[in-house]
Structure 1
Amino acid sequence: MSSAKLPECSIPIFTTVASYREWRREAHDAKQKVGFVATMGALHDGHLALVKRSLAENDLTVLSIFVNPAQFAPHEDLATYPSTLPRDLELLSAMSLPVNVQGSNGPLVRKPSAVFLPTVLEMYPSGISQTISEQKGTFVDVKGYEHQMEGKSRPTFFRGVATVVTKLFNAIEPTQTYFGQKDIQQALLLRRMTRDMLLSHPLPDKLHIVPTVRDLTSSLALSSRNAYLTPHEREVAAPVLHSALQVSKTAWQNGASKQECIRQACTLITDTAEKANASGGDDKIDIRLDYIELNDPETFDVLPEEASRAQWESEGSEGKGRPVILSGAMWVGRTRLIDNIILGDTRKLGIIE
């Protein structure tokens, strides 16, 4: 996108790596900490919570907006992914956070410092296709950890995510970076990637995971794709995934086996789906369960069917509070929703409150 076509914005916008790096060099010379939030735009309160966290903990905060073709399979919604750039820039421009800084006279007011808004060609100089067999150039594979949970339903997803985030980290050089718990597998894999690739910007312990932000009425995890939901879908069907995970959480805490925890969650979703599909006319909603599962947060392996909370905690070095990822995905009409709850001590996964 050329600068002539950009909406007016009080925040500096960089569309090339070269122009951003010139700005970043000044921050480096001034020994300023740079926080980073990677997004695909269509910003919501979940994104803004990440930005606020960065504002509180860094001298400067950079946000990227880039819809990454490499993480969309050919049949997925790349062409229709929500785009609200003017509103996104308005939201960022309106943000400010008073912070107390040692040595200053009174609170300082921090605002977002820069927006990185690259083109597809800037991010993929060799070009990019959504079909892996047609791709040329350098890509990042996460071996052995990308085929479970979301990777099982979207087998090319994490390859695309790891590739683009490596590029963004190389370009932005963040001191600290922030990802949401809603995409817990992605966040944990990226932290592992920073360690495996020996990255210095950020270091693994500087990749922070922030709790999921939810709709205050329905507890629906906020997502840019929620814009696809009709008002009726949002009211009737969308909250059921979180409700199902809560049912499973209660069963786990009460000593039920993994198999029973999942059965109770799936029953709630299938019962809701039957009622929604049975209603006629405009009230009919298509609800389809993708998966509900419990996974080891270290290996992402599926827990055995007979596993229980007591057994899980007794077998791990973490002991009491040993975390488990309880996650799920479902379709409401044409919208795919994902959500998760951490069973156990979230601090052991580095999730910051």
Structure 2
Amino acid sequence: MKTKVAIIGAGPSGLLLGQLLHKAGIDNVIIERQSPDYILSRIRAGVLEQGMVDLLREVGVNERMDREGIVHGGFELAFSGRRERVDLEELTGGKSVMIYGQTEVTKDLMDARQDSGQLSFYGVPDATLHDLKSDKPTVTFTHNGEQVLLECDYIAGCDGYHGVTRKSIPDDAIKSFERVYPFGWLGVLADTPPVSEELIYAKHERGFALCSMRSPTRTRYYVQVSLDEKVEDWSDERFWEELKYRLPVDTANKLVTGPSIEKSIAPLRSFVVEPMQYGRLFLVGDAAHIVPPTGAKGLNLAASDVSTLSRILDKVYHEGRTDLLARYSEVCLRRIWKAERFSWWMTSVLHRFPESDEFSQRIQDTELDYFVGSRAGRTTIAENYVGLPYESIE
């Protein structure tokens, strides 16, 4: 079997890359370890940057998003007894974010993939990459009990942090950068109306809290917890009480509670590998980088990687610009490190760190007050939150 681009992973990044390549007339095959139902069962983020929204519209996978998604022109920061709104549209010349769950994005992309007629293999547990430094790499795997050999020109690793693609690169060919945070987020999904029309990021002496949403009738709330906490120790009642305690009084009084339909604890980390390419293999999204969710950058960074790789491959196949292949990593990493910085900054000013002394806490409070208290500071927050521009490929 032959194709131009083998895509490992059928999450939103792999599916979006497949659609962009298909639109450009570049044949591709997707290979995924899990089943479609498993992928759609994962609860993930739902804040889409302007750039990702534009990409989904570019490939024509936007009808349901534009109908059901919620455009947010700002968000709130609650701290020190204050509630401060960051007006994204006013500070960025009209840019905004879209509230639309990653699960919904993935479902829309799966439907589009099926309509495209491009080949996808699900339930593949043993994909193995070969000859990555040659001009004809291959992927071998088992599907329905049969051995498959897929010949291709390039391989895109869209299979996440635990996937096979990054592990296929020799240890001495890449360098990892990592920071693990001493807390996690306990998240609850509930069929209740949002407490606010926009997201609220709350800093409290007991820890961080976030009021988010998936739709006008489905909410997603988070509270910061220590790493030794267990989900089973958090009843719904305990969660709602703790969330209310960390929110401004007027917000807590309006909070509508209800039974959780999903509850989980996510650890927080920052992670980047350099370079993001090895021979004919290109790492995309979580395979190459992880951000704490505070800045809402994880899925959006994957989308910018996808944009960069698809545009490079478009020029390779249609203009013969093979010189651009070596630029993939440097172009992506410029934007990635800026998003890592913003996510680290949001995490550092809004969370309670167990080792912080009173001096550190005062500095933390002052840092947040300084940025929110000036137009320049608010603009910096807003520009990063809606997403920095994608770098052009010339």
TM score, norm. by length of structure 2: 0.26
User: Which of 1 and 2 has higher RCO (CA within 8 Å, sep 6+)?
Assistant: 2
- Point out the structure with the larger strand share: 2
TM score, norm. by length of structure 1: 0.28
